[in-house]
Homo-oligomer: A and B are copies of this chain.
């Protein structure tokens, strides 16, 4: 399944010329001419408004939509899975059993879920740019911009039900203030068993044909009553057919389509291979441990799955980067842009400045990528914590840094310690999420061993970190000795601040203090020599690209609302035709050919109810829509704006969409709306929910 989208997003850029049905389009800049010309379709403003205001962003990193006037929200099971886990008890595992609230009073309130619905967009580009002094050094420019953005967001959030995010578009070519209606009382209505939502598990993940009922329903409440959602999507009575044009409205997390060849080469040669090496190591470590006992499985399976999912995604991406056909397209794109920059005749002083800045930009980025090549290893180990892979270390570091950062003015702090972000940082720091010493020991011992292998046993910091012990013995000492596993102890250290941290004898706190100077130095160098120069260079390129292509483009994904589209369409894989639709019949056949064994084992009620199901019901389908992680849970609608499907994945070939759109083999994967109705009726006896979806 798609990687969940992290809240903190990186560089973002504009796309140039489109390719087929390419594009994650802004709602206020849709390719209307293309839609009209190619598909004879002209959406009305009402059609667009309803789709926009029916679209829901899950702040946990996914998308969804209102599908009834009573606040019912449709999303993926894997988007809701965190909440299902939090609502579970040792006696009642909702991921295992699924859940259905037949009546409103049975709907279960989620613990810390926030949904956002986009209400308005305001351009704040001038305001943000004005805050950065002309000719400011990179580090100062970064700081000034961050401070301004934080201030705008604070002003924009006028009350407790409003959320305001400044979204960086066109690589800093534009800054838009997105204002959302914010909902925090979200209740679980229906979830199937994980075994059917994620049927096929890791083996079938990112593959197609696929057979997953990856759906989940929540209801939004306000003042303890279901919210009356004026905007919602109607359910299609008949579903979609092969070749039919469909639309996807959701929040693609991040794409990198404007990265220069220098950056793509960095990713191809260093970034992805190094990450895959670490993911492989963790997958093997956790896989072996999880197999040792049922308790291990329960404690480690989710983390293992996350690793496997990332691994598949990166392999797909690396496959694209190593494909000369795709790279040739990127190279041609860059050459065209370079040529434009070198040959265009500016008509204003602004255009002249833009072209001059853009001329230097390629070299700036190449230089930044060189720095990144040189420091990636140490940054990953020390600042990103690959050398100290334990929740206890992460807690200890947060406490050590909080003591220092909180005493600084807001604008000078690390981003995550900004005033606006402190509440969520504290929520996480003091959460009662359970940790298991044996699991922490496993991961910390392995990561200390990795550090020793990577930096060498004679490295001064390695020697200090290991303190004369083997990685395993040292990890045992740290894990068994630290008190940060106790929430009260964390609170004391956090509240008493620097003197308490400095005076602490806790071995994990001591370790976090020991590595912090080196880690901070790396982060600072990365921010000033890589991040900020690239931000400025990409911004310059983005402006030049505007000159070249005008506004007939879409910006790279930024976890802001977008519209994509494309027909339902199969594809060819190694010479074999893969049809667009799968069915319930295929689901049962796949389970049988795998001996009905995990992760192909069907929940008991699916076995019992087989006879009552219409086995020809379409279960999943693929389309050419341009989507990416963050789109998980997006509604797929037809020209009438009715729900015909639910995005939940891309095929493995689609993982190149991070860099470049492709409609030859890349496909978006959806649950068919008909499968949801058929399953709710025949397998789950959820007639109340079906009635609500169909409209009374």
Q: Hey, which bits of chain A sit against chain B, CB under 8 A?
A: 201-204, 207, 265, 268-269, 273, 276-277, 279-281, 283-284, 287-288, 291-294, 308, 311-312, 318-319, 322-325, 449, 452-454, 456-457, 466, 468-473, 476, 574, 593-595, 597-599
Contacts and interface: CB of A to CB of B under 8 A. Distances in A.
A323 to B, nearest CB: 4
B202 A291 contact: yes
Contacts of A473: 323
A322 B448 CA distance: 10
Contacts of A318: 449, 453
Contact of A325 (B294, B322, B470): B470
Nearest to A599: B291
A269 B450 CA distance: 10
Contacts of A449: 318-319, 322
A469 B323 CA distance: 7
A294 B457 contact: no
Given A269-B457, A322-B457, A468-B324, A281 B277 contact: yes
Contact of A470 (B308, B324, B457): B324
Contacts of A273: 453-454
A470 B323 contact: yes
B293 A593 contact: yes
Main secondary structure of the interface of A (DSSP, over half): helix
A322 B599 CA distance: 38
Contacts of A597: 598
Given A202-B291, A293-B593, A294-B594, A319 B472 contact: yes
A322 B471 contact: yes
| Candidate in A201, A283, A291, A472 with the most chain B CB atoms within 10 angstroms | A291
| Candidate in A202, A284, A292, A597 with the most chain B CB atoms within 10 angstroms | A284
Contacts of A452: 322
Contacts of A456: 269
A288 B203 contact: yes
A288 B284 CA distance: 11
Contact of A319 (B283, B325, B470): B470
B593 A294 contact: yes
Contacts of A453: 268-269, 273, 318
Given A269-B453, A288-B308, A324-B468, 12 more contacts: A203-B288, A280-B280, A280-B284, A287-B287, A294-B593, A318-B449, A318-B453, A322-B449, A322-B457, A322-B471, A323-B470, A324-B470
A292 B205 CA distance: 10
A394 to B, nearest CB: 23
A457 B280 CA distance: 22
A293 B595 CA distance: 10
Nearest to A279: B284
A369 to B, nearest CB: 14
Contact of A288 (B202, B476, B574): B202
Contacts of A268: 453, 457
A284 B269 contact: no
Contacts of A468: 324
B291 A470 contact: no
A292 B324 contact: no
A306 to B, nearest CB: 14
A418 B325 CA distance: 46
Q: Which 4 A-B pairs have the closest CB atoms?
A: A203-B291, A323-B470, A273-B453, A280-B280
Nearest to A470: B323
A595 B277 contact: no
A287 B284 CA distance: 10
A201 to B, nearest CB: 8
Contacts of A279: 284
Contacts of A323: 470, 472-473
Contacts of A574: 476
Contacts of A454: 273
Nearest to A466: B324
Nearest to A320: B470
Contacts of A201: 291
A279 B283 CA distance: 12
B470 A322 contact: yes
A594 B293 contact: yes
A564 to B, nearest CB: 26
A78 to B, nearest CB: 19
Nearest to A274: B453
A201 B469 CA distance: 31
Contact of A284 (B284, B291, B293, B322): B284
Contacts of A281: 276-277, 280
| Candidate in A201, A293, A452, A470 with the most chain B CB atoms within 10 angstroms | A470
Nearest to A469: B324
Contact of A294 (B283, B324, B476, B595): B595
A59 to B, nearest CB: 31
A272 to B, nearest CB: 8
Contacts of A308: 288
| Candidate in A265, A287, A599 with the most chain B CB atoms within 10 angstroms | A287
A279 B469 CA distance: 26
Contacts of A469: 324
A208 B667 CA distance: 47
Contacts of A203: 288, 291-292
Contacts of A457: 265, 268-269, 322
A308 B288 CA distance: 9
A283 B282 CA distance: 12
Nearest to A282: B280
Contact of A204 (B292, B294, B325): B292
A694 B380 CA distance: 62
Contacts of A325: 470
Nearest to A446: B315
